[in-house]
Amino acid sequence: MDRVPSDVIYGLTLDGKGGMTPLATGSEIPAAQPSWVHLDYGNPEAARWLLQTPLLNDAARESLLGQSNRPKLVRMGETVLLILRGINHNKDHRPEEMVALRIYITPDFILSSRRRSLLSEKDVFQQLALGGGAISTADWLVEICDALTDRAGEFVEELHDQILELEEIVLMRELPANGRLARIRKQLIMIRRYLSPQRDLVARLANEKLTWLDEDDRRRLLDIADRLRRWLDDLDAGVARSAVLADEINNLTAEATNRRAYQMSVMALMFLPASFLTGLFGINLGGIPGAESPTAFWIFCGSLVGLATGLAVWLKYRRWW
């Protein structure tokens, strides 16, 4: 075995009872006891260790160093290489920019790496620190898949609540904030893009004939795959509901535009007779009625007001207004 690198995030051994024993940096990774070494492959020291360690082959080095982002499962005898995706909860990052967790796992050794932190990895570590975590590498694999699925489910529920809120706003004939629906639709589509292959990957993992996976582990993995399927169904429903919302918002916008255009048309209709009369009486020709009368202007203004009032009453009676 190799030694624990100096910049390790987590370095520990599983005690087989749900707890763990930390490994000091520079100490030898024990071969007789299940161990977990977790690294940030963006750190130069960790990247150098991954390139030089004799624990990995070339294919595993490439995957653990971030050469692929899509969920992936590669079996090499009793060794499994996995790339899973988790919700991005890092500050100043969007949740749909999912974080890749890369795992190299054997019956007695776990080596994982990532570039950005994941709450799921912290969940699994905290359970070990509290003494209620994984008892074996197979149990650890199920726990990490379960934690990733739980976090994804929480985010899908948040999106569901946001869509419900938008539906209430639209039902009240109001328009939501600009760009909000588009952002939710983007998140729905991007999360689905990664969860769909991950569901297939977990189901396939449950059916792999690995000697260190027992029937209980396989049952739990199938249960996780089923939960992922339900989240995917919710995402599909969310995409459909957001499409209906987009149509309804477009209808509200078109309705508001038409209402304003109609109001402007009615106003133009009301001022059309007045415009005709003022244009007619504004010509510089002889014979204009009232040209010599000092009260003709006020009589003309009163006539225009009476005409506008009469037209307004007529429009109201005909229900145009």
Contact indicator for 104, 56 with CB cutoff of 8 Å: yes
What is the reported pLDDT for 320?
A: 65
What tokens appear for 10 in the block?
Answer: 């987590």
How many angstroms separate the Cα of 34 from the Cα of each of 14, 43, 94, 121, 152? 6, 25, 35, 17, 28
Residue 1 is predicted with a pLDDT of 65
pLDDT exceeding 90 applies to what percent of the chain?
Answer: 61
| Structure confidence at residue 173 as a pLDDT band (50, 70, 90) | confident
Across the chain, what does the average pLDDT equal?
A: 89
DSSP code per residue over 155-177: HHHHHHHHHHHHHHHHHTT-PPP
Is pLDDT above 70 for 285? no
Non-local CB neighbours of 230 within 8 Å, separated by 6+ positions: none
Cα distance between residue 294 and residue 25, in whole Å? 106
Predicted confidence (pLDDT) at residue 2 exceeds the cutoff of 90: no
Cα-trace Rg, the chain = 35
Range name among 77-81, 116-120, 220-224, 289-293 with the lowest pLDDT average: 289-293
Residue 291 pLDDT level (bands cut at 50, 70, 90): low
pLDDT for residue 273 is more than 90: no
pLDDT over threshold 90, residue 92: no
Amino acid 280: pLDDT = 66
Q: What is the pTM of this model?
A: 0.81
User: Quick check: 253 pLDDT over 80?
Assistant: yes
* pLDDT grade for 9, boundaries at 50, 70 and 90: very high
* Beta strands at 35-40 and 109-114: parallel, antiparallel or unpaired: parallel
- Above 80 in pLDDT, residue 294? no
The percent helix, strand, coil of the chain (3-state, each to 5) is 55, 15, 30
Summarize the confidence of residues 18-35 as an average pLDDT.
91
**pLDDT above 90 for 319:** no
Find the mean pLDDT for residues 232-259: 91
Q: What is the DSSP letter of 132?
A: -
pLDDT for 284 equals 65
pLDDT confidence bin for 175, thresholds 50/70/90: confident
Strands annotated E in the chain: 10-14, 20-22, 35-40, 72-76, 79-86, 99-106, 109-114
Phi-psi region of 16 (alpha: psi -120 to 50; beta: other; left: phi over 0): left
What pLDDT is stored for residue 232 in this prediction? Answer: 96
pLDDT of residue 287: 67
